[in-house]
Amino acid sequence: MFKKMFNQYWSPYIVMAVAGILSALYFGITKTVWAVTGEFTRLGGHMLEWFGVDISDWAYFKLIHMQGTTFSRTDGWIVWGMFIGALLMVLLNNNFKIRVPRQKRRLLQGLIGGFVAGFGARMALGCNLAAFFTGVPQFSLHSWIFIVATAVGTFAGVKIVSTSWWKGKPVLQKGNTAAIVKERKKIQPYIGGILALAYAGLIIYFYAEGKNMLGTAALFGAAFGILIERGQICFTSAFRDLWISGRATMTKAITLGMAVSSVVTLIIILVNGMDPITKIAAPSTVIGGILFGVGIVMAGGCETGMMYRLMEGQVVFLPVFIGNIIGATVLAYGWDHLGIYNSLVKMGKPINLIDTLGPAWALILTLVLLAAGFAIAVYWQKNYRFGVGFKKGETKHVH
């Protein structure tokens, strides 16, 4: 049992289905969704304040609310809980190791990719979570626009990273690469155990002090972090793998997760009389989605992929994280100071399928679209081959 839990990665299908249920339950409890880049933007705002910049009149920060600190907000503890949950799994698996890219250019590329992804995500008012995985189950039309735009962006991103000027010259490792690697002392699981106890104590403290929402966010954040690390969930690979190898496992798993989450979320909305969270569908959704898709491929991972890989010790994802915060913060400045809102957002409006079609048809349409996406992914994986495209029917020879 222990070996299955910590020495083997989990099925992405099970992981995404569980994540879909948990994200729906989290919405039911907190009336907000599982998301990360909004908090990344707030972190950027706080950093500007530390350096004496007055952001009180920035429209974007008014939109996403800057009250409190990252440690007094539920969105903050979703983020830190995800980092900690992923780190726990890495340590319990004895898998933490500082990994520095052989090509140092990857650090700059990661920074640039993170910047583009962060800028695009916040222009579209959400990333692979709020405008994708948790956006579709909220029946917000903007999520479907974002998904299509992200697919286009990742295709363009694959074309960019496939060029020789992006790849650079390969760095060959000297010596025998098959040399025996000394087994690391298995101290990491003990550190992971101590960290788990400390974090459990923090959650208990939140509830004991009456800070129930913080305790809930910290608990769910850790659960999400555990799931993305154990399932190796990365939305970048869900698209990038399609364009490169035709592999669609992650695509199918994420689609399944959204279907499960859509059903549970609608039940929660109807039972509790809640309003779904709907974001503006506008040209900014298209442009932001394309930029996000390009950025995550350039960075080598989306926000969720970046988080657990950074906890594994992959140094390249530190500049990706930094770039994401910078990109989101620059967008926050440009929202009103550079006229982004007036030119790309203002003409749009929030459209929810429940309001437009009614609950039953909204769910049916969502499930039909997800089923179609799943079927396309199955066909794509079966027939697409890199460098060839789709296989043509083979002619049978009669002897």
The pLDDT value recorded for residue 172 is: 59
Q: Is the pLDDT of residue 56 over 70?
A: yes
- pLDDT, averaged across the chain: 90
d(CA 152, CA 291): 9
Taking alpha carbons only, the member of 191, 233, 230 closest to residue 89 is 230
> Mean pLDDT, to the nearest integer, of 246-273?
95
Inside any domain, residue 394 = no
Inside any domain, residue 237 = yes
What percent of the chain has pLDDT above 70?
91
> Mean pLDDT, to the nearest integer, of 7-11?
83
Rounded (10°) CA dihedral 298, 303, 304, 310 = 80
DSSP class of 178? T
Task: Give the end-to-end CA distance of the chain in Å, rounded to a whole number.
Answer: 54
Q: How many CA atoms lie within 13 Å of 289's alpha carbon, on the beta-carbon side? A: 23
Residues contacting 202, CB < 8 A, separation 6+: 218
Tokens of 6: 């910590």
The pLDDT value recorded for residue 128 is: 84
> Mean pLDDT, to the nearest integer, of 133-159?
95
Phi-psi group of 387: left, alpha or beta (phi > 0 → left; psi -120 to 50 → alpha; rest → beta): left
Residues contacting 397, CB < 8 A, separation 6+: none
Inside any domain, residue 117 = yes
Q: Give me the amino acid identity at 145.
A: I
Q: Is the pLDDT of residue 174 over 80?
A: no
Q: Is the pLDDT of residue 348 over 90?
A: yes
- With both helix axes pointing from N to C terminus, report the angle between 235-244 and 141-161 in degrees, rounded to the nearest 10: 50
> Could you count the other beta carbons within 10 Å of the beta carbon of residue 342?
11
The pLDDT value recorded for residue 180 is: 40
Inside any domain, residue 396 = no
Q: Is the pLDDT of residue 178 over 70?
A: no
The pLDDT value recorded for residue 265 is: 97
Q: Is the pLDDT of residue 206 over 60?
A: yes
Confidence of residue 185 (pLDDT cuts 50, 70, 90): low
List the Cα angle 298/303/308 in 5-degree steps.
105
Contact 305, 237 (CB under 8 A): yes
> Mean pLDDT, to the nearest integer, of 72-94?
95
Taking alpha carbons only, the member of 377, 237, 318, 332 closest to residue 41 is 332
Give the tens place of pLDDT for each residue, 33-44.
998 999 999 999
Inside any domain, residue 152 = yes
Confidence of residue 177 (pLDDT cuts 50, 70, 90): very low
Confidence of residue 57 (pLDDT cuts 50, 70, 90): very high
Confidence of residue 145 (pLDDT cuts 50, 70, 90): very high
Q: Is the pLDDT of residue 393 over 50?
A: no
Q: Is the pLDDT of residue 397 over 50?
A: no
Tokens of 100: 């520095």
Residues contacting 147, CB < 8 A, separation 6+: 132, 136, 289
Inside any domain, residue 395 = no
The pLDDT value recorded for residue 171 is: 65
Residues paired with 350 in a beta bridge = 280
d(CA 185, CA 26): 38
d(CA 354, CA 144): 14
Q: Is the pLDDT of residue 394 over 60?
A: no
Coil, strand, or helix at residue 99? strand
Count of domains for the chain: 1
Confidence of residue 176 (pLDDT cuts 50, 70, 90): very low
> Mean pLDDT, to the nearest integer, of 236-252?
89
Exposed, middle or buried, 175 (CB in 10 Å: 0-12/13-18/19+)? exposed
> Mean pLDDT, to the nearest integer, of 351-378?
96
Tokens of 14: 């099970």
Q: Is the pLDDT of residue 219 over 60?
A: yes
* Structural domain of 215: 2-165+187-382
Q: Give the position of tokens 């929202």.
A: 335
Exposed, middle or buried, 201 (CB in 10 Å: 0-12/13-18/19+)? exposed
Coil, strand, or helix at residue 280? strand
> Mean pLDDT, to the nearest integer, of 225-229?
95
> Mean pLDDT, to the nearest integer, of 184-212?
93
Coil, strand, or helix at residue 390? strand
Q: Give me the amino acid identity at 147.
A: I
Inside any domain, residue 296 = yes
Contact 358, 276 (CB under 8 A): no
> Mean pLDDT, to the nearest integer, of 178-192?
68
Q: Is the pLDDT of residue 179 over 70?
A: no
- With both helix axes pointing from N to C terminus, report the angle between 212-231 and 74-92 in degrees, rounded to the nearest 10: 40
The pLDDT value recorded for residue 126 is: 85
> Mean pLDDT, to the nearest integer, of 186-192?
93
Inside any domain, residue 92 = yes
Give the tens place of pLDDT for each residue, 294-340.
999 999 988 888 999 999 999 999 999 999 999 999 999 999 999 99
Q: Where are the beta strands (DSSP E) in the chain?
A: 280-281, 349-350, 384-385, 389-390
The pLDDT value recorded for residue 368 is: 98
